[in-house]
Amino acid sequence: MSRQSRARRAESERFAAGFAATHGSLEYITLLVTPLALFSGILYFLAWIRTRAYFSWFGVDPQLVGFSSQDYLLRGATLAFRPAASMVLIGVVVFVAMRTVTAAVRRSPRARLPLATTLCGLAVASLSLGFVVLFDLAQPTPPPQGALLLVCGGLLAELGMFATTVDRRGHMPVFLRRALVIAVVLLGLFWSCSIQAQQAGRQTARDVAAALDRQPHAVLYSTTDLALHLPGVHRESLSKSARYRYRYSGLRLLVFNAKRWILLPESWQRGDAPAIILPDTTNLRVELRH
C-alpha cells in the first residue's frame, strides 16, 4: 500500500470516528432533551389548569391576568412532585411484578395460561371502566378513580402479555406492545394529575377567599369616578384641586400582573360581588398596605 493510500485510509478512519462520536453525542442530547421538553409541556399544562381553576373561582378570566410561559412553568413547579413520584413508583412496581411473574411461570409452567388469562381479564375490565368514565359515557366511578383504573389496566395488560412470553417469543413485537401500554399509562397519569391540579386551584382559591383579610389592603385613587358601588367599598371625594379626585378603600389585592390590578372587596363572597379589574394607567394610583 502506497503512502498516499495509507494517508487517505487514516483520514477516512478519523472522519468515521468523528462522525460516530458526534452521532453518539447527538443521541445522548436527544435522550436528555426530549423527556425534559415533554415534562416542561406537562408542567405548563398542569399550571394552566390550576391557574384557570383558581381565577375562575373569583370570576376572572385567567387570560386577563397575562401570565407568561415562564410564569406558568414557575407556578407548575409545585405540581412537579406528583407526576415524577408516580412515574418512579410505577417503574418500581412494574419491575417487581415482572420478576414475580417470571419466577411464578418458571416455577410452574402450567400456571402460565391461567395467570395470563386472569391478568388480561382484569386489564380489560379496568380499561373498559376507565375509558367509560374518560369519555363520560357513564359514571360508575368518580374521575380520579377512573384515571387510576386506566393506569392499573395498562399495567395489568402488560403483565398478562408478558406472562405469555416468559422464555418464549410473543406474536406482537415487544416495542409496539409496550408503546401502547406506555401510552395508556401516561394518559391515565396525565388525567389524574390534571384533576389534582384543578382541585388544587379551587382549594387554594377557597383558602384565599376564607382568609381575605390576609391579602394586602389596596387603597385606590382615581382622577374620575369609577362608580364602584360594591358592598364594603367606600368612596371619598377629595379636593377638586387634587390630582386624584376620588379615593376608594375597603379593597384587597388579588393579583397584579401585565399592568392590570385585580382587586376584591373586603366583604367579597362568591356569587355576590364581582372582582375589580383595572388597568395600570396614570389616571389611577394604588397604594398597598399590610
Task: In whole angstroms, give the CA distance from residue 260 to residue 258.
Answer: 6
Long-range contacts of 162-169 (CB under 8 A, 24+ apart): 162/98, 162/101, 163/101, 163/105, 163/112, 163/115, 163/116, 163/119, 164/112, 164/113, 164/116, 166/101, 166/102, 166/105, 166/106, 166/112, 167/105, 167/106
Taking a C-beta distance cutoff of 8 angstroms, is the pair 119, 156 a contact?
yes
In the numeric block, which cell numbers belong to residue 63?
Answer: 387570560
Exposed/middle/buried for residue 147 (C-beta within 10 Å: 0-12, 13-18, 19+)? buried
Three-class SS state of 59:
coil
Q: How confident is the model at residue 170, as a pLDDT?
A: 63
Taking a C-beta distance cutoff of 8 angstroms, is the pair 75, 136 a contact?
no
Q: How confident is the model at residue 5, as a pLDDT?
A: 57
Q: What is the H or E stretch that residue 261 is in?
A: strand 260-265
Per-residue pLDDT 10s for the chain (290 aa) are 555 555 555 555 554 444 444 444 544 555 455 566 777 778 888 889 999 999 999 999 988 888 888 888 777 777 777 777 888 888 889 889 999 999 998 898 888 899 999 999 999 999 999 999 999 888 889 999 999 999 999 999 999 998 988 877 766 777 888 889 989 988 998 899 899 999 999 999 999 999 999 999 999 999 999 989 888 899 999 988 889 999 999 999 999 987 899 999 998 988 888 999 999 999 999 999 88
- Report the half-sphere exposure of 145 (CA within 13 A, side-chain side): 6
- The DSSP letter of residue 129 is H
In the numeric block, which cell numbers belong to residue 261?
Answer: 390590578
Task: In whole angstroms, give the CA distance from residue 86 to residue 90.
Answer: 6
